[in-house]
């Protein structure tokens, strides 16, 4: 099988931790956490794994600028800005937001890493493909070369970040002497989920890879997953193809929608933080881990003994309205 080249930016392999107190509270199940929130400081989170492959492709094809997009507090945009600075490339971000957004968290870090930033409103952001292309054309007219990464770096090349992570997990199983029968991740643009699923299918591992979507719905993300898997086939020369039933996305935990929290979600994040000393984030991992917890409580995952949840990061994404929910100590 052909495998694209990757850079070495992230701190890998990331640790796997046993959440002992949570596991004993749930009973009959062992919950483990893969600390992909610790892939680095500036580049922390899951996006750097995808960027290691995407940026290698950009460099190998002579690009000098990374162009990407996301919400104003996008972890992917911040990781791209940080990685660009580490590698010596330029970075341009098109972020969905407004003039009212506080210059904090990921947005602040984007500026700190020297990315140039266009803020556009949600109406304009509907034409994001055109906006990205226009930026690329503008750079070209100045003799530069812009490499466009889609939202979340979730495409064929980005998928290899979690193909690589799946192989890392299989290696760690040997050293730890544990076999994970379920691997669970958040689905935000499906690249992480698709990459894990691709590798899991290719090596015929018997674990079930579950995704828990934090926006949109199962149908939408099953389609995105299929698209990414098809693009990965173009690189590997393999012919992995999955039916809708083989794509295990658990729906029902998007709550109030992307970037919006409920009190139950924030209370749950505080529960885990005080029980285990682990900080989840309100946009992604807090919702998905809350989903996993509820599915276990309902008995829907009772056929699994060792469950590995990927902590994909997001610590910089906390905003005042979410922080304020837990302020009354
Ligand atoms: C982007 C992101 C996700 C979702 O990953 P996708 O590959 O986009 O599905 C999960 N957690 C965090 C913290 C993220 O930033």
Phi and psi, residue 218, nearest 5° = -55, -45
Exactly one of 44, 74, 215, 261 is catalytic; name it.
74
For residues 49-71, average pLDDT:
98
Q: Compute the distance between CA of residue 111 and CA of residue 194 in angstroms, rounded to an integer.
A: 31
Ligand 1 pocket (Cβ < 6 Å) reads 45-46, 75-76, 152, 154, 186-193, 281, 284-285, 312-314
Q: In sequence order, which residues have a C-beta less than 8 Å from that of residue 128 and are 6 or more positions away?
A: 69, 94, 151
Cα atoms found within 13 Å of the Cα of residue 208, Cβ hemisphere only: 17
The pLDDT tens digits for 288-326 are 999 999 999 999 999 999 999 999 999 999 999 999 998
What would the two tokens of residue 82 be? 């940080």
The pLDDT tens digits for 169-196 are 999 999 999 999 999 999 999 999 999 9
The pLDDT tens digits for 209-239 are 999 999 999 999 999 999 999 999 999 999 9
Considering the chain, tell me which residue range(s) the CATH 3.40.50.1100 domain(s) occupy: 16-44+154-327, 47-152
Specify the fold of 16-44+154-327.
Rossmann fold (3.40.50)
For residues 243-258, average pLDDT:
97
- pTM (2 d.p.): 0.98
Helices and strands of the chain, counted as H and E runs? 12, 10
Specify the fold of 47-152.
Rossmann fold (3.40.50)
Distance of CA 2 to the CA centre of its chain: 24
Distance of CA 86 to the CA centre of its chain: 20
Query: In the annotation, is 74 catalytic?
Result: yes
From the CA of 313, give the closest atom in ligand 1.
13
Smallest CA-to-CA distance from 194 within 159, 223, 165 is with 159
From the CA of 162, give the closest atom in ligand 1.
7
Q: Ligand 1 centre and the CA of 312: distance in Å?
A: 6
């Amino acid at each position: 099988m052909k495998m694209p080249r990757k850079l070495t930016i992230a701190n890998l392999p990331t640790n796997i931790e046993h959440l002992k107190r949570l596991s004993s509270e749930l009973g009959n199940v062992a919950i483990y956490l893969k600390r992909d929130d610790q892939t680095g400081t500036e580049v922390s989170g899951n996006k750097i794994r995808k960027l290691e492959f995407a940026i290698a492709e950009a460099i190998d094809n002579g690009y000098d600028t990374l162009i990407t997009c996301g919400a104003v507090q996008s972890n992917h945009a911040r990781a791209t800005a940080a990685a660009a600075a580490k590698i010596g490339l330029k970075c341009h971000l098109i972020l969905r937001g407004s003039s009212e957004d506080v210059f904090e968290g990921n947005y602040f870090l984007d500026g700190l890493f020297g990315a140039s930033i266009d803020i556009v409103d949600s109406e304009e952001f509907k034409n994001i493909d055109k906006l990205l292309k226009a930026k690329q054309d503008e750079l070209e007219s100045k003799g530069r070369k812009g490499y466009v990464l889609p939202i979340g770096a979730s495409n064929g090349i980005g998928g290899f970040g979690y193909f690589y992570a799946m192989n890392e997990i299989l290696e760690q199983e040997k050293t730890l002497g544990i076999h994970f029968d379920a691997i669970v991740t958040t689905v935000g643009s499906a690249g992480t989920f698709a990459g894990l699923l691709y590798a899991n299918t290719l090596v015929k591992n018997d674990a079930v890879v579950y995704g828990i979507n934090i926006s949109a719905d199962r149908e939408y993300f099953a389609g995105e997953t299929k698209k990414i898997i098809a693009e990965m086939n173009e690189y590997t020369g393999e012919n992995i193809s999955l039916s809708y039933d083989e794509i295990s996305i658990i729906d029902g935990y998007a709550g109030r929608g992307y970037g919006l929290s409920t009190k139950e979600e924030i209370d749950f994040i505080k529960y885990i933080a005080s029980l285990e000393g682990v900080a989840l984030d309100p946009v992604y991992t807090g919702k998905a881990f809350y989903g996993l917890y509820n599915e276990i409580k309902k008995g829907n995952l009772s056929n699994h003994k060792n469950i590995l949840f990927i902590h994909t990061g997001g610590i910089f994404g906390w905003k005042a309205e979410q922080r304020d929910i837990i302020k009354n100590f």
